[in-house]
């Protein structure tokens, strides 16, 4: 891996030089949150490298909310900048599902091929962040082409792939300097963020404890939490690993793929009328078992990366972490 340093100003100028060749998305602060925005020459200066995790999960760029799968895949080149590790790790599950040789999704594959992913060290956390509980780090570990590590007015770029090297070469950034490695200040910041996360989540069980506890929960246990659920599906659609969808046939031979969510009524209803998840407490239980038992068992990957978005998005104020803590105590 190669490491470079560049000023934020010179990096912004470099992005502007390739904005006609790439569609660029990057996080911009919006109050206490951050949102991915489509960059223009005039908005590149607004990119935030210090914000909390963006509200939109990375999956939306590869697995759109709605798409006509009967059309040819888009080949537009893109740069998605500022991606956090919880979203990058989530791609392992999406890749396992949509890049399977037997059931290849060519739309997903084309987007992955034509996208340069630029990760970003976490510089701040939310109250709901808990990636370290599941063995992840608050900085990019895999699936990124370049990692940005902010240090004052400098950005340190760690290039991990040939795609990343080719992007930098094409940008021809002024002021880009090769360095032997990351400065100590970057490691100090990473350690500080990790310590904050571990302190914040000291009572949260790890993956194995969580799995064991969930296997022993009853329908009555889930009924207590389901009483606050309104089946809006926000927890599923905002999750970086949830990937369920519906295929809808329309006129003129259109076949539209829409996001679906296991918390919606009739999610598992079949033609004969049977519905194993008709009761809300069973749907809620199924979601947690899917995250911690079923998907890890099927694909040997994390299905919850600790981003905390589901807690933030829940209309019923259901706290996933509090459910897990309660399940472990009950166990």
**What pLDDT shows up at residue 62?**
97
CB 36 within 8 A of CB 26: yes
Tell me, yes or no, whether 136 and 230 share the same domain: no
Global pTM?
0.94
**What pLDDT shows up at residue 330?**
64
Tell me, yes or no, whether 184 and 212 share the same domain: no
> Which sign does the torsion angle of CA 305, 64, 150, 157 carry?
positive
Tell me, yes or no, whether 134 and 30 share the same domain: yes
Tell me, yes or no, whether 176 and 212 share the same domain: no
Domain count, the chain: 2
Tell me, yes or no, whether 181 and 325 share the same domain: no
pLDDT in tens, the chain (331 residues): 899 999 999 999 999 999 999 999 999 998 889 999 999 999 999 999 999 999 999 999 999 999 999 889 989 999 999 999 999 999 999 999 999 999 999 999 999 999 999 999 999 999 999 999 999 999 999 999 999 999 999 999 999 999 999 999 998 888 899 999 999 999 999 999 999 999 999 999 999 999 999 999 998 999 999 999 999 999 999 999 999 999 998 887 789 999 999 999 988 888 888 988 889 999 999 999 999 999 999 999 999 999 999 999 999 999 999 999 999 986 5
Tell me, yes or no, whether 191 and 266 share the same domain: no
Tell me, yes or no, whether 24 and 150 share the same domain: yes
**CA 257 – CA 260 distance, rounded (Å):** 9
Tell me, yes or no, whether 137 and 230 share the same domain: no
CB 76 within 8 A of CB 61: no
Q: Which of 200, 228, 248 is the last residue of a domain?
A: 200
Tell me, yes or no, whether 179 and 313 share the same domain: no
> Which sign does the torsion angle of CA 162, 156, 177, 167 carry?
positive
CB 58 within 8 A of CB 129: no
Dihedral (Cα; 100, 104, 107, 111), 10-degree rounding: 30
Q: Which of 165, 200, 235 is the last residue of a domain?
A: 200
Tell me, yes or no, whether 248 and 156 share the same domain: no
3-state secondary structure the chain: CEEEEEEHHHHHHHHHHCCCCCEEEEEEEECCEEEEEECCCCCHHHCCCCCCCCCCCCHHHHCCCEEECCCCCCCCCEEEEEECHHHHHHHHHHHHHHCCCCCCCHHHHHHHHCEEEEEECCCCCCCCCCHHHHCCCCCCCCCCCEEEEEECCEEEEEECCHHHHHHHHHHCCCCCEEECCCCHHHHHHHHHHHHHHHHHCCCCCCHHHHHHHHCCCCHHHHHHHHCCCCCCCHHHHCCCCCCCEEEEEEHHHEEEEEECCCCCCCCCCCCCCCCCCCCHHHHHHHHHHHHHHHHHHHHCCCCCCCCCHHHHHCCCCCCHHHHHHHHHHHC
Q: What residue numbers bound the domain in which 44 lies?
A: 2-200
Ramachandran region, residue 150 (left: φ > 0; alpha: ψ -120 to 50; beta: rest): beta
Tell me, yes or no, whether 190 and 212 share the same domain: no
Q: Which of 172, 200, 228 is the last residue of a domain?
A: 200
Tell me, yes or no, whether 141 and 34 share the same domain: yes
């Amino acid at each position: 891996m190669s490491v470079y340093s560049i000023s934020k100003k010179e990096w912004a100028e470099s992005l502007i030089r390739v904005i006609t060749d790439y569609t660029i998305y990057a996080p911009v602060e919006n109050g206490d949150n951050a949102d991915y925005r489509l960059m223009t020459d005039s908005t590149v200066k607004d990119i935030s490298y210090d914000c909390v995790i963006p509200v939109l999960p990375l999956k939306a760029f590869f697995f759109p909310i709605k798409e006509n799968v009967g059309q040819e895949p888009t080949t537009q080149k893109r740069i998605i900048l500022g991606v956090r590790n919880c979203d990058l790790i989530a791609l392992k599950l999406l890749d396992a599902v949509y890049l399977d040789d037997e059931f290849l999704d060519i739309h997903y594959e084309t987007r992955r091929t034509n996208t340069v992913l630029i990760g970003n060290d976490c510089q701040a956390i939310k109250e709901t962040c808990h990636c370290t509980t599941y063995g992840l780090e608050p900085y990019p570990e895999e699936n990124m082409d370049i990692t940005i590590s902010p240090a004052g007015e400098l950005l340190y770029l760690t290039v991990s792939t040939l795609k990343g090297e080719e992007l930098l070469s094409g940008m021809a950034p002024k002021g880009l300097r090769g360095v032997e490695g990351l400065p100590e200040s970057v490691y100090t910041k990473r350690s500080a963020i990790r310590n904050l996360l571990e302190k914040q989540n000291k009572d949260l069980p790890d993956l194995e404890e969580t799995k064991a506890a969930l296997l022993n929960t009853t329908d009555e246990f889930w009924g207590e939490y389901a009483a606050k659920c309104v089946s809006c599906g926000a927890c599923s659609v905002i999750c970086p690993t949830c990937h369920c969808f519906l295929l809808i046939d329309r006129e003129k031979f259109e076949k539209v793929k829409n996001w679906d969510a296991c918390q919606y009524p009739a999610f598992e209803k079949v033609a004969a009328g049977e519905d194993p998840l008709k009761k809300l407490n069973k749907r809620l239980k199924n979601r947690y078992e899917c995250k911690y038992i079923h998907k890890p068992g099927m694909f040997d990957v994390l299905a919850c990366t600790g981003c905390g978005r589901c807690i933030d998005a829940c209309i019923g104020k259901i706290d996933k972490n509090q459910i897990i803590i309660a399940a472990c105590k009950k166990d």
